[in-house]
């Protein structure tokens, strides 16, 4: 199999599957002991009113070294931005500056209790206020809530704001329009907010079909949700006409901010006519994605909508102190406390590090890097929407599939052998055999070139040795998984061996 | 060009490759009147030296609870975090990874989460746990929504002893018209099963309760569960995961869904976020469960391996029919919880819970013996309890803060007036407790 091991580092063999931690250690092993009891002991069953537990939970019995080795081994089976190029479209996997991590771990931030008196939280509130102000400036939408915990949570909060505004105007509405390129969270969010989804098709250029949108707009439409630039990586040049048409029927224009990294500092969603935007702090403002989270999804809205935002919000008082306040017609609370403060600290630190010029530089370089990579790959793959792209672009593996039955999934798996994380595949849905590639501004040119060369080489293999690609990957800790079996006979937890 | 590794010469090469003369051409689709003229109005960039000085300065303006003698709880707890937990989280392969969509290179995240799911099942006694929700409040809401999907009913009955911010969150979601919330007025520090029984009917999807509840008391889950069952509704129980080391798991009382705030398991308080939404249910309801699930399977070589599964419920497949819209969740906090539970083990968890409960009872007895506090109820509790103060509770709180103590959290009593909710974790020593009692008695 050695001929398959392109770009595999020489030396130690890659780690293989790992024993479950439940199967390590010995019954008497333990790591952290509870502190010795320095007050009189209690009879648990008495003080708990008879609700005391009969059998302790069956947790692992391991020592500290065994824990560290276990997780070290698991880490070696994981691929992160620090491991290599991670061009996952629409996810903005850019470098996470380490100073952000140090900042959020400062005791003066990590050690704060949410119900401490506000006078003991002045630095934290100043930070939240500073971040909210910066996000309002970047978005051109000055009303900002930092409450939502993630992008999709922000989408939901924003739709709730629209609902509250429509209801306050005595104008309850039924439908929300999305384009077919929308992120999957958009329709799910619409449903969770009690609206019906109407999907409008894209035009042949992959942009909003403005005539179809206009035909779908009426006074029952609460909002139009658009990702701009969209998931094909295209900025909609008719955006002002679109937001104007949405406003003409009294609906709101919503910007899914997942792709803000492409335009920040260059243009502002508020100036494009959007009424609200959520910002994925973990993407655009460089917080680690943590294997799926946590992120944070602040929502920015125009002045008219600010009074409905979920609270509480940080406020600055004339005397230079900071507090928390509720907008006058706030729709309420979308989670406990004040948002994912630890993520807010990282985003604030990042924005202060790069400043206004750095914000624009990041967007410009992200866009240039994407166009460069597209240019390098355009001969090897189909380019279904061949326009100047923003910070990501979509290729199609349809040529390889047609010629040799090699699917995009196969090529994605083969990229793993070359040491790269694959791009997003099979999304957006309107592109056959889609590969959505987002290099971000933090990748060196050498990484872009190496990735392009690997993908071109794989396109070559797809022609010369299709079975090689279809059998990939060969060098990963585990190989292709039986996902059907996982769904058909779910095994979702460890269970102790039968006695 | 901070964090951007492209040199000026490389940039020229890239522009030439793309076939444009300047970066502005790449933004030609942006309408001219919406292109920003000049720079955004943001503070100047800071060097790392100045940046560190600045953020440290902000941090130093705060007085962290962890540097006070803190008795504050009410939803966030100052438990000890074993050193190993953050050392594991700082492995960049974990924290710089995304959602494990490519399982071949994500086995670390996936196995870590599978193990976490297993441990949450062990704590709660339930069959299945998801790979985490945002926080306790949103997990609570998702449980209500899930109960509505399962029962095809739309009304939920909520005990008034649940954390008020969780109830507020539920009411916010209810404004979307997907469900209706019926709240129980609560007096006496505990849910009243007969009062809840008067609220349930054949439209009730779920009865939701927390135990220990917002003021720390342990509810009669058997009685409340019976109310839910009699109405054909689901029984949703919120619990504190540390207390599940010593409390009978909610499954014993017929819970259908168990939720909780997982912050006590290895996450810092961090002003209340990020937390960790715990969520577990019965196997029969797994297909209505929101959020991600990791399952074990095999690869083509027969090796055991882990993968995201049952994703047909999720937003990227089912779109408007998805069981929830959750995409980013709190996976890293879930990893922390798994590492925490490994580090303490069953013996450690029971010991920690026992220590918290013993110290809380010690503090309560000592405060009562000062004659300045009185107990509104004589109900069983864990490591958190509420007392009435004879004077102005807020003034007492301020005065004790000046002396270096966070004297619990002052809350409005359901009967009117103020109560002080005290939480005592394993970090508090007898010496600290004694000194606090002495000081507060001297006011």
How far is B4 from B45, CA to CA, in rounded Å?
A: 14
Instruction: Judge: B62–A123 Cβ closer than 8 Å, yes or no.
Output: yes
A chain contacts of residue B328, beta-carbon cutoff 8 Å? 149-152, 280, 282, 289, 292-295, 297
Instruction: Judge: A48–B244 Cβ closer than 8 Å, yes or no.
Output: no
A336 → closest Cβ in B106, B169, B247 = B169
Strand partners, A177: A198, A224
Q: Please give the mean pLDDT across all residues of chain A.
A: 94
How far is A437 from A459, CA to CA, in rounded Å?
A: 16
Distance from CA of B369 to the nearest CA of A (A): 16
pLDDT digits (tens, 9 = 90+) for B304-318: 999 999 887 676 777
Query: Which of A185-189, A372-376, B105-109 comes out lowest in average pLDDT?
Result: A185-189
Give me the mean pLDDT over the A425-440 stretch: 94
B175 → closest Cβ in A79, A331, A360 = A331
Q: Where residue B327 falls among pLDDT bands split at 50, 70, 90?
A: confident
Which are the contacts of A319, defined by CB distance < 8 A and separation ≥ 6? none
How far is A81 from A58, CA to CA, in rounded Å?
A: 35
CB < 8 Å from B in window 241-260 of A: none
Distance from CA of B275 to the nearest CA of A (A): 8
- Percent of chain A having pLDDT more than 90? 88
Can you say whether residue B328 is alpha, beta or left, with left for phi > 0 and alpha for psi between -120 and 50 degrees? beta
Instruction: Judge: B36–A271 Cβ closer than 8 Å, yes or no.
Output: yes
pLDDT at A16: 65
- Quick one: CA dihedral A350, A354, A357, A363, positive or negative? negative
How far is B387 from B122, CA to CA, in rounded Å?
A: 33
Over 80: is that where the pLDDT of B221 sits? yes
Distance from CA of A449 to the nearest CA of B (A): 11
Instruction: Judge: A413–B132 Cβ closer than 8 Å, yes or no.
Output: no
pLDDT digits (tens, 9 = 90+) for A346-392: 999 999 999 999 999 999 999 999 999 999 999 999 999 999 999 99
pLDDT at B187: 72
Over 80: is that where the pLDDT of A6 sits? no
Instruction: Judge: B343–A353 Cβ closer than 8 Å, yes or no.
Output: no
A chain contacts of residue B88, beta-carbon cutoff 8 Å? 67-68, 71, 75
A194 → closest Cβ in B178, B298, B317 = B178
Instruction: Judge: A112–B5 Cβ closer than 8 Å, yes or no.
Output: no
DSSP collapsed to 3 states, chain A: CHHHCCCCCCCCCCCCCCCCHHHCCCCCCCCCCCCCCCCCCCCHHHHCCCCECCCCCCCCCCCHHHHHHHHHHHHHCECCCCCCCCCECCCCCCCCCHHHHHHHCCHHHHCCCCCCCHHHCHHHHHHHHHHHHHHHHHHCCCEEECCCCCHHHHHHHHHHHHHHHHHHCCCCCCEEEEECCCCCHHHHHHHHCCCEEEEECECCCCCECHHHHHHHCCCCEEEEEEECCCCCCCCCCCHHHHHHHHHHCCCEEEEEHHHHHHCCCCECHHHHCCCEEECCHHHHCCCCCCCCCCCCCCEEECCCCHHHCCCCEEEECCCCCEEEECCCCCCCCCCCCCCCHHHHHHHHHHHHHHHHHHHHHHHHHHHHHHHHHHHHHCCCCECCCCCCCCCCEEEECHHHHHHHCCCHHHHHHHHHHCCCCCCEECCCCCCCCEEEECCCCCCCHHHHHHHHHHHHHHHHHHHHCHHHHHCCCCCCCCCCECHHHHHHCCCCCCCCCCC
B309 → closest Cβ in A192, A237, A487 = A487
A chain contacts of residue B99, beta-carbon cutoff 8 Å? 289, 291-292
Over 50: is that where the pLDDT of A11 sits? no
A197 to chain B, any CB pair closer than 8 A? The answer is yes
Instruction: Judge: A114–B172 Cβ closer than 8 Å, yes or no.
Output: no
Strand partners, B257: B236, B281
pLDDT digits (tens, 9 = 90+) for A256-267: 999 999 999 999
Asked if the peptide bond before residue B174 counts as cis, ω within 30 degrees of 0, the response is no
Instruction: Judge: B93–A337 Cβ closer than 8 Å, yes or no.
Output: no
How far is B249 from B127, CA to CA, in rounded Å?
A: 12
Instruction: Judge: B327–A352 Cβ closer than 8 Å, yes or no.
Output: no
Distance from CA of B29 to the nearest CA of A (A): 5
pTM of the predicted model, to two decimals?
Answer: 0.96
Give me the mean pLDDT over the A290-310 stretch: 96
Distance from CA of B182 to the nearest CA of A (A): 17
Instruction: Judge: B88–A67 Cβ closer than 8 Å, yes or no.
Output: yes
A219 to chain B, any CB pair closer than 8 A? The answer is no
Instruction: Judge: A53–B75 Cβ closer than 8 Å, yes or no.
Output: no
pLDDT at A258: 92
pLDDT at B414: 75
Mutation pick from A294, A419, A427, A440 vs chain B, by most beta carbons of B within 10 Å, is A294
Instruction: Judge: B398–A117 Cβ closer than 8 Å, yes or no.
Output: yes
B chain contacts of residue A185, beta-carbon cutoff 8 Å? 315, 325, 327
Q: Please give the distance of CA B398 from its chain centroid, rounded to a whole number.
A: 28
Strand partners, B155: B180, B204
B chain contacts of residue A476, beta-carbon cutoff 8 Å? 104-105
Instruction: Judge: B31–A272 Cβ closer than 8 Å, yes or no.
Output: yes
CA-to-CA dists, residue B43 to A351, A356, B40, angstroms: 9, 7, 9
Instruction: Judge: A342–B163 Cβ closer than 8 Å, yes or no.
Output: no
Which are the contacts of A492, defined by CB distance < 8 A and separation ≥ 6? B114, B117, B128, B129, B286, B293, B294, B295, B296, B309
How far is A340 from A146, CA to CA, in rounded Å?
A: 8
Give me the mean pLDDT over the A92-109 stretch: 97
Instruction: Judge: B42–A351 Cβ closer than 8 Å, yes or no.
Output: yes
How far is B372 from B437, CA to CA, in rounded Å?
A: 10
Question: B36, A267 in Cβ contact below 8 A?
Answer: yes
Instruction: Judge: A57–B31 Cβ closer than 8 Å, yes or no.
Output: no
How far is A159 from B441, CA to CA, in rounded Å?
A: 51
Instruction: Judge: A111–B119 Cβ closer than 8 Å, yes or no.
Output: no
A210 to chain B, any CB pair closer than 8 A? The answer is no
A412 to chain B, any CB pair closer than 8 A? The answer is yes
A265 to chain B, any CB pair closer than 8 A? The answer is yes
Q: Where residue B1 falls among pLDDT bands split at 50, 70, 90?
A: low
Instruction: Judge: B72–A115 Cβ closer than 8 Å, yes or no.
Output: yes
Question: A192, B325 in Cβ contact below 8 A?
Answer: yes
pLDDT at A42: 95
Over 60: is that where the pLDDT of A7 sits? no
Q: Which residue of B has its CA nearest to A339?
A: B273
How far is B219 from B225, CA to CA, in rounded Å?
A: 11
Interior CA angle at B324 toward B307 and A253, to 5°?
Answer: 120
pLDDT digits (tens, 9 = 90+) for B4-47: 999 999 999 999 999 999 999 999 999 999 999 999 999 999 99
The complex's ipTM works out to 0.97
- Percent of chain A having pLDDT more than 70? 97
A37 → closest Cβ in B218, B270, B355 = B355
Q: Where residue A1 falls among pLDDT bands split at 50, 70, 90?
A: very low
A and B: number of Cβ contacts within 8 A: 715
Q: Where residue A15 falls among pLDDT bands split at 50, 70, 90?
A: low
Closest CA to B109 of A74, A423, A82: A74
CB < 8 Å from B in window 450-469 of A: none
Give me the mean pLDDT over the B413-441 stretch: 95
Question: A292, A272 in Cβ contact below 8 A?
Answer: no
Instruction: Judge: B40–A60 Cβ closer than 8 Å, yes or no.
Output: no
Instruction: Judge: A30–B345 Cβ closer than 8 Å, yes or no.
Output: yes
C-alpha atoms less than 13 angstroms from C-alpha of A52 in its C-beta half-sphere: 14
B chain contacts of residue A67, beta-carbon cutoff 8 Å? 84, 88, 339, 342-343
Residue A354: CB atoms within 10 A of its CB come to 24
Of residues B56 and B416, which shows the higher confidence score? B56
B chain contacts of residue A197, beta-carbon cutoff 8 Å? 319-320
Q: Please give the mean pLDDT across all residues of chain B.
A: 95
Q: Which residue of B has its CA nearest to A80?
A: B97
A429 to chain B, any CB pair closer than 8 A? The answer is no
Distance from CA of A353 to the nearest CA of B (A): 5
Q: Which residue of B has its CA nearest to A33?
A: B348
pLDDT digits (tens, 9 = 90+) for A200-237: 998 999 899 999 999 999 999 999 999 999 989 999 99
B342 → closest Cβ in A60, A412, A476 = A60
pLDDT digits (tens, 9 = 90+) for B163-215: 999 999 999 999 988 899 998 877 779 999 999 999 999 999 999 999 999 99
């Amino acid at each position: 199999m050695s001929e398959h091991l392109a770009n595999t580092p020489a030396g130690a063999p890659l780690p293989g599957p790992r024993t479950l931690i439940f199967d390590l250690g010995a019954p008497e092993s333990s790591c952290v002991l509870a502190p010795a009891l320095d007050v009189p002991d209690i009879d648990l069953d008495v003080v708990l009113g008879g609700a005391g537990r009969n059998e302790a939970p069956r947790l692992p019995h391991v020592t500290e070294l065994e824990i560290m080795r276990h997780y070290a081994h698991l880490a070696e089976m994981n691929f992160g931005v620090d491991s290599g190029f991670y061009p996952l479209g629409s996810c903005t996997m850019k470098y996470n500056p380490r100073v952000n991590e140090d900042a959020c771990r400062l005791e003066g931030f990590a050690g704060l209790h949410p119900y401490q008196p506000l006078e003991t939280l002045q630095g934290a509130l100043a930070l939240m206020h500073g971040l909210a102000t910066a996000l309002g400036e970047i978005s051109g939408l000055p009303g900002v809530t930092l409450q939502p915990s993630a992008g999709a949570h922000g989408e939901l909060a924003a739709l709730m704001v629209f609902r509250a505004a429509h209801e306050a105007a005595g104008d309850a509405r039924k439908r929300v329009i999305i384009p077919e390129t929308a992120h999957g969270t958009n329709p799910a969010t619409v449903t969770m907010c009690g609206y019906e989804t109407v999907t409008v098709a894209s035009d042949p250029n992959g942009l909003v079909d403005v005539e179809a949108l206009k035909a779908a707009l009426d006074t029952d439409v609460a909002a139009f949700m658009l990702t701009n630039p969209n998931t094909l990586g295209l900025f909609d040049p008719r955006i002002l006409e679109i937001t104007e048409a949405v406003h003409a029927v009294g609906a709101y224009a919503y910007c899914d901010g997942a792709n803000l990294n492409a335009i920040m500092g260059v243009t502002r969603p508020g100036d494009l006519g959007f009424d609200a935007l959520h910002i994925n702090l973990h993407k655009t403002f460089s917080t680690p994605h943590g294997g799926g989270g946590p992120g944070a999804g602040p929502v920015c809205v125009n002045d008219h909508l600010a009074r409905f935002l979920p609270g509480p919000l940080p406020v600055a008082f004339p005397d230079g102190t900071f507090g928390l306040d509720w907008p006058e017609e706030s729709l309420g609370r979308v989670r406990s406390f004040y948002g994912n403060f630890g993520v807010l600290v990282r985003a604030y630190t990042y924005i202060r590090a790069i400043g206004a010029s750095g914000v624009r530089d990041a967007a410009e370089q992200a866009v240039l890097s994407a166009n460069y990579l597209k240019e390098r790959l355009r001969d090897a793959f189909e380019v279904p929407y061949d326009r100047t792209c923003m910070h990501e672009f979509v290729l199609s593996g349809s040529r390889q599939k047609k010629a040799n039955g090699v699917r995009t999934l196969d090529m994605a798996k083969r990229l793993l052998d070359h040491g790269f994380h694959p791009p997003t595949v099979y999304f957006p849905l309107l592109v056959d055999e889609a590969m959505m590639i987002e290099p971000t501004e933090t990748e060196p040119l050498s990484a872009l070139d190496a990735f392009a060369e690997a993908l071109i080489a794989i396109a070559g293999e797809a022609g010369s040795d299709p079975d090689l690609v279809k059998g990939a990957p060969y060098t990963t800790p585990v190989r292709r998984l039986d996902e059907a079996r996982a769904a058909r006979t779910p095994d979702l937890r460890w269970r102790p061996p039968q006695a | 060009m901070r964090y951007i590794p492209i040199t000026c010469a490389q940039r020229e090469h890239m522009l030439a490759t793309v076939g444009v003369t300047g970066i502005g051409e790449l933004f030609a689709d942006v309408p001219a009147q919406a292109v920003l003229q000049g720079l955004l109005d943001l503070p100047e960039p800071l060097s790392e030296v100045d940046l560190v000085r600045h953020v440290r300065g902000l941090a130093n303006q705060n007085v962290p609870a962890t540097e006070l003698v803190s008795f504050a709880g009410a939803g966030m707890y100052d438990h000890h975090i074993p050193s190993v937990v953050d050392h594991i989280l700082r492995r960049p392969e974990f924290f710089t990874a995304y959602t494990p969509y490519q399982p071949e290179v994500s086995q670390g995240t996936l196995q870590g989460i599978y193990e976490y799911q297993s441990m949450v099942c062990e704590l709660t006694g339930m069959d299945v746990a998801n790979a985490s929700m945002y926080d306790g409040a949103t997990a609570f809401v998702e449980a209500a929504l899930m109960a509505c999907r399962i029962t095809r009913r739309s009304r939920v009955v909520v005990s008034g002893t649940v954390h008020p911010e969780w109830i507020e969150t539920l009411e916010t979601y209810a404004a979307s018209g997907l469900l209706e919330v019926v709240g129980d007025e609560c007096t006496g520090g505990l849910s009243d099963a007969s009062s809840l029984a008067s609220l349930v009917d054949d439209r009730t999807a779920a009865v939701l309760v927390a135990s220990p509840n917002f003021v720390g008391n342990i509810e009669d889950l058997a009685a409340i569960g019976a109310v839910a069952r009699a109405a054909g509704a689901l029984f949703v129980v919120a619990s504190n995961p540390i207390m599940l080391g010593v409390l009978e798991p909610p499954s014993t009382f017929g819970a259908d869904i168990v939720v909780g705030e997982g912050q006590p398991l290895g996450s810092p308080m961090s002003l209340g976020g990020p937390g960790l939404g715990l969520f577990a249910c019965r196997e029969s309801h797994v297909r209505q469960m929101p959020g991600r699930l990791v399952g074990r399977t095999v690869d083509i070589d027969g090796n055991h391996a882990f993968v995201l599964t049952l994703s047909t419920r999720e937003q990227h497949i089912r779109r408007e029919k998805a069981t929830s819209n959750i995409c980013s969740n709190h996976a890293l906090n879930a990893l922390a919880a798994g590492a925490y539970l490994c580090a303490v083990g069953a013996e450690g968890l029971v010991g920690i819970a026992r220590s918290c409960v013993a110290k809380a009872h010690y503090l309560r007895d000592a405060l009562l013996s000062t004659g300045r506090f009185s107990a509104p109820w004589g109900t069983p509790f864990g490591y958190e309890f509420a007392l009435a103060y004879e004077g102005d509770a807020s003034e007492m709180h301020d005065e004790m803060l000046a002396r270096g103590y966070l004297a619990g959290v002052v809350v409005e009593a359901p009967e009117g007036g103020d109560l002080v909710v005290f939480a005592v974790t394993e970090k508090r020593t007898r010496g600290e407790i004694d000194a606090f009692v002495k000081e507060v008695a001297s006011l």
